[in-house]
Amino acid sequence: MNLWFRRHGWANHAAGLPRANVICDAETGQIAGYVTLSAGQIERAAPPKPLQRNKPDPVPATLLGQLAVHKDYQGKGYARSLLLFALRAALTSSQDVGSMCVFTHPLDDAARGFYARWGFVDLPYDPRPAMIVRMVDLEQSGLGCEARVGKPSARRS
């Protein structure tokens, strides 16, 4: 976590490239984790067939490029908080700047499982093993509603 952030995080943020958003320990001020977002695109052929219909090529999307939590803070809900922040930010910005989905490239199976719990699905034709979640699915999940915070994949009737 620290190596990427030191080498690229702040410089990228200052240059207007992927924006690094950090979460800090309230007591020490130490950076506990970060998440980056940027505008992106995916080839129309990459999503599953039902998602390709009547879409431009390439499809506008939001890239969740990095999500990392320092080892001392893992298992304490920081990754969940960072992901919720990122998904809300992506959903909000998609109201003004077109974006069909959020996509990411998980580093390993544990990360894939984490994203899958939040509704991300595999992009079957992507040469890099990406996962996406559609903005419409984020809207339908109630992600923007404060009452919904905290329960992945839960549906409220």
The whole-number pLDDT of residue 129 equals 84
Does 157 fall in a domain?
no
Q: Residue 77 sits in which domain range?
A: 2-147
How many whole angstroms separate alpha carbon 82 and alpha carbon 23? 7
Q: 3-class DSSP state for residue 52?
A: helix
49 falls in which pLDDT band (50, 70, 90)? Answer: low
pLDDT of residue 141: 85
Number of domains into which the chain is organized: 1
- Structural domain contains residue 31: yes
Around 5, how many Cα atoms within 13 Å sit in the side-chain half-sphere? 16
Identify the pLDDT of residue 19.
72
Query: Greatest CA separation found in the chain?
Result: 50
pLDDT of residue 47: 58
* CATH code for the domain in which residue 142 is found: 3.40.630.30
List all residues 6 or more positions away from 83 whose beta carbon is below 8 Å from its beta carbon.
Answer: 35, 64, 67, 114, 118
Residue 110 to residues 36, 107, 134, Cα–Cα distance (Å):
19, 8, 21
Q: Assess whether pLDDT exceeds 50 at residue 157.
A: no
Is position 153 within any domain?
no
Number of other residues whose CB lies within 10 A of the CB of residue 138: 20
21, part of any domain: yes
Tell me if 68 is assigned to some domain: yes
94-144 pLDDT, tens digit each? 888 889 899 999 999 999 999 999 999 988 776 668 999 989 889 888 876
Residue 152 lies in a domain: no
| More confident position, 69 or 155 | 69
- In the chain, the DSSP E strands lie at 19-24, 31-42, 59-69, 101-104, 121-122, 131-134
Of 35, 138, 42, 46, give the one whose Cα is nearest residue 93.
138
Is residue 54 a part of any domain in this protein?
Answer: yes
Amino acid code (one letter) for 3: L
H or E stretch including 2?
A: helix 2-4
Local confidence band at 13 (pLDDT 50, 70, 90 cut-offs): low
Does the pLDDT value for residue 153 go beyond 60?
no
In-domain check, residue 125? yes
When pLDDT is cut at 50, 70 and 90, the band that residue 85 belongs to is very high
Instruction: Report how far residue 46's alpha carbon sits from residue 122's, in angstroms, rounded to the nearest whole number.
Output: 10
